[in-house]
Structure 1
Amino acid sequence: MRRPALVLAACAALTACGGSDDGKTPPAQVTPAATEHFAQGCAVVDGKSLAPKSVTLPKPKLSLDAAKTYVATVATNCGTFEITLDARRAPLTGGSFKYLADHRFFDGTTIHRIVPEFVIQGGDPKGTGEGGPGYTITEKPPKSLKYSEGVVAMAKSQDQPAGTSGSQFFVATGPDAAKLPPDYALLGKVTAGEDVVARIGAIVTDPRTDRPDEPILLKSVRVTEK
Structure 2
Amino acid sequence: MTPRRTSARRSALLVAGLLLTPALAACGDDSGDTATESTSPESGGTGAACAYESDGQEPSREVTAPPEQAEVSGEVQASVETSIGTLNAVLDAETAPCTVGSFASLAEQGYYDDTPCHRLTTGGIFVLQCGDPTGTGTGGPGYTVPDELEQAEEGGYPAGVLAMANTGQPDTGGSQFFIVYDDTQLPPSYTVFGELDEKSVELVRDVAKKGTADGGPDGAPATEVTIESVSLD
TM over 0.5: yes
| Matching residue within 126, 150, 153 for 2:134 | 126
- In the alignment of these two chains, the number of paired residues is 184
Partner of 1:80: 86
CA drift of 1:195 comes to: 2.1
CA contact (8 A) 1:2 1:157 kept: no
Aligned to 2:108: 102
Amino acid in the other structure paired with 1:72: A
Kept in 1: contact 2:83–2:226 (CA 8 A)? yes
Letter in 2 for 1:149: A
Question: Is 1:137 matched up with 2:145?
Answer: yes
SS in 2 for 1:56: coil
1:68-93 per-position Cα deviation (integer Å, ceiling 9, x unaligned): 43111111111111111011110110
Structure 1 residues 35-54: aligned runs within 5 Å: 54=60
Unaligned runs of 5+ in 2: 1-9, 27-58
5 Å-filtered alignment, 1:137-216, equals: 137-142=145-150, 144-145=152-153, 146-158=156-168, 160-161=169-170, 163-175=171-183, 177=184, 179-191=185-197, 193-205=200-212, 206=214, 207=216, 209-216=218-225
Per-residue deviation, 1:15:
4.7
Moved more, 53-62 or 108-117: 53-62
C-alpha displacement of 1:203? 2.5
Is the alpha carbon distance of 1:123 and 1:76 closer, same or farther for their aligned partners in structure 2, counting shifts above 3 Å?
same
Q: Which residue of structure 1 lines up, in the alignment, with residue 229 of structure 2?
A: 220
Q: Share of identical aligned residues, percent? A: 34
**Residues 72/141 of structure 1: CA separation in 2 closer, same or farther (3 Å cut):** same
Q: TM-score, normalised by structure 1?
A: 0.72
Separation of aligned partners in 1, 2:87 and 2:119 = 17
The 1:17–1:164 alpha-carbon spacing in structure 2 relative to 1, beyond 3 Å, is: closer
Partner secondary structure for residue 93 of structure 1: helix
Q: CA RMSD in A?
A: 2.7
Tell which has more relative contact order, 1 or 2 (C-alpha 8 A, sep 6+): 1
Amino acid at match of 2:160: G
2:92, 2:100 within 8 Å by CA — same for their partners in 1?
yes
Cα distance, 1:2–1:56 mapped onto 2, change above 3 Å: farther
Counterpart Cα distance in 2 of 1:64 and 1:194: 28
Q: Secondary structure at the match of 1:198?
A: helix
Q: Give me the whole-angstrom Cα distance separating, in 1, the residues matched to 2:144 and 2:12.
A: 13
Distance 1:217 1:113, change over 3 A: same
1:5 and 1:151 map into 2 onto residues whose CA distance is 23
